[in-house]
Structure 1
């Protein structure tokens, strides 16, 4: 059963919202669905900061829906012990959903100026909806009705979002462009079984590295020096290897990211989903007409830091090096620091 946790807050010192009406409309929509037995709606109102971890842990929802006030970069407005406004920061929300990313598939922030929080939470959750400006009660309610009408009909999250926006537009409300979705589509619907890595009993190195003596890296013929890598299966001790980077315009960044992802995703790690999320963010950015290279760099940095903690990272460093060298060349001077993660230097 898919659990939908609807959280709401309307502090005393904020304008009054029709939150009860929104909840009622969502519940009515479910009752009209032939698939109503497949969903459970749980509502929690007058939300306080401490309630967030409590409710997410207790209810274990698939979808988290927040209705209330947003304050842009300052965060979302919850309630304190006296019912007054208490803001919860964007950074704190992102960290919270990092803890529940194995459980939560979708987050809907039906609050003004919540796009900032949506972008931060999307680092960890595959689908997040936020609002790029203020949104009125009527538009917010119509969006929810459209979104859940599609969901209760078995549609995917993108269709749910589109239905929500269309429901606003059908009413002649100009705010149909206010909701924004952050979504990534996974290449794998479920975790793939990880084959154990066979080791040489004498040197405890993976079979991929048996007989490999040449530690030089070739990137368009411009690499110099050598790296000596020692250590056991889990730990790499790397003497830095000097590398000359290719011209940025010669780099096929899509191909390089794809290769890095394929190498790293074979590692045995509990952070697999975090690594996937980071690569999805990077690849989503490079598809834009003018990609933000800093966004790509930040995402790649996250992926590599999680990968370094994985069992067997030492065994794939040599494979990563040439592709990371080309990628950092494309990213520019600000991201040459990534080379140090795999023992390279300029």
Structure 2
């Protein structure tokens, strides 16, 4: 049974959010599922900073869902003993979830500008969802409904995330690109896959909130071996190999980029031009005096995702692992998810 701990906070001196409605929709979604016995929902409202450790220790949840206000770099908004706002810092949240690394599988931060906290928590928790900008109440609630609808169907967290984004899109709310997922799979974790749900992401869509409250608050080495995949068309058992990353300064990024491109160039794919364009974007950024590593990472992520559709990609994984491990080390923690594409984890 998965325990879902929903924590909510709406301090007196912040704008009023529809948190009760969100909790009700999540409960209804799971209760209507034929798999409802697989889940237990625990709700705690008006959460104070001191409550966090107690609730996590007492309830021992598999999933932690926070609903409330975020303030970007300042942290998440909880309550003090008087019901007023008290911020909990990004660093403190990361340290907290370090203590529950073996227990918590997924953290969902349904609050504005919470991607920074998601990134920090992801150092210890395999799946974390945050918001990369302000998100309105309607979008936040629809994301939750979509996420838990697919969770109730016993699908993986990545599918849940994509359905959450799609649910926002289906309502015509222009905020489907606001949720951001940080995900990796633990070593030797079994992944169930049944035609995973994918969302259409149109980069031209505006993300402005169209009325209603939003959930923000303003405050003045080397690699050997390979993964083994077995199973039929509906189920795959994937052994994720754990690796150690070399020191970033030891990586010759140009050489590793060339090696990666050479391997992918041998694949037969209808997306060849898209892969080449992605590498050209990465190379253009690398040619700058001070390249933006996130721009390089984004380009390589596109190239690898197109390559992953090629029929011969699985047979190339062992060759891809060494250069991609070094590239990931150079890119930094924001890009550790790239390793999942070649069945590696750290």
On whether the aligned pair clears a TM of 0.5, the verdict is yes
Match status 1:28 vs 2:28: yes
> Corresponding residue for 1:41?
41
> Corresponding residue for 1:82?
82
SS of aligned partner of 1:67: strand
The answer (yes or no) to whether the contact 1:254–1:286 under 8 Å persists in 2 is no
> Corresponding residue for 1:133?
133
Q: What is the CA–CA distance in structure 2 between the aligned matches of 1:56 and 1:246, rounded to whole Å?
A: 40
Deviation of 1:253 after TM superposition, in Å, equals 10
Q: What is the CA–CA distance in structure 2 between the aligned matches of 1:169 and 1:75, rounded to whole Å?
A: 28
Q: What is the CA–CA distance in structure 1 between the aligned matches of 2:295 and 2:189, rounded to whole Å?
A: 22
SS of aligned partner of 1:70: coil
Q: What is the CA–CA distance in structure 2 between the aligned matches of 1:62 and 1:253, rounded to whole Å?
A: 41
Cα pair distance change 1:95/1:254, threshold 3 Å:
farther
> Corresponding residue for 2:307?
none
Cα pair distance change 1:254/1:34, threshold 3 Å:
farther
Cα pair distance change 1:286/1:45, threshold 3 Å:
same
The two structures, once aligned, show a CA RMSD in angstroms of 2.8
The answer (yes or no) to whether the contact 2:46–2:83 under 8 Å persists in 1 is yes
Deviation of 1:254 after TM superposition, in Å, equals 9.1
The answer (yes or no) to whether the contact 1:71–1:113 under 8 Å persists in 2 is yes
Instruction: Give the structure-1-normalised TM-score.
Output: 0.58
The answer (yes or no) to whether the contact 2:251–2:326 under 8 Å persists in 1 is no
Q: What is the CA–CA distance in structure 2 between the aligned matches of 1:253 and 1:56, rounded to whole Å?
A: 46
> Corresponding residue for 2:108?
108
> Corresponding residue for 1:67?
67
Deviation of 1:23 after TM superposition, in Å, equals 0.3
Q: 1:289 aligns with which of 295, 299, 302?
A: 299
Deviation of 1:285 after TM superposition, in Å, equals 11
> Which is greater in Rg?
1
Cα pair distance change 1:285/1:160, threshold 3 Å:
farther
The answer (yes or no) to whether the contact 1:80–1:86 under 8 Å persists in 2 is yes
1:73-128: CA deviation from partner (whole Å, max 9, x where unpaired): 00000000000000000000001001101000000000011011001001110000
Q: What is the CA–CA distance in structure 2 between the aligned matches of 1:16 and 1:247, rounded to whole Å?
A: 51
Deviation of 1:165 after TM superposition, in Å, equals 0.6
Gaps of 5+ in 2: 191-249, 261-293, 302-321, 332-346
> Corresponding residue for 1:150?
150
Q: What is the CA–CA distance in structure 1 between the aligned matches of 2:144 and 2:253, rounded to whole Å?
A: 45
Larger relative CO (CA 8 A, sep 6+): 1 or 2?
Answer: 2
How many pairs were matched up? 216
> Corresponding residue for 2:218?
none
1:32-63: CA deviation from partner (whole Å, max 9, x where unpaired): 00000110000000000010000000000000
Cα pair distance change 1:253/1:48, threshold 3 Å:
farther
Q: What is the CA–CA distance in structure 1 between the aligned matches of 2:48 and 2:258, rounded to whole Å?
A: 44
SS of aligned partner of 1:143: helix
Q: What is the CA–CA distance in structure 2 between the aligned matches of 1:119 and 1:72, rounded to whole Å?
A: 12
Match status 1:164 vs 2:164: yes
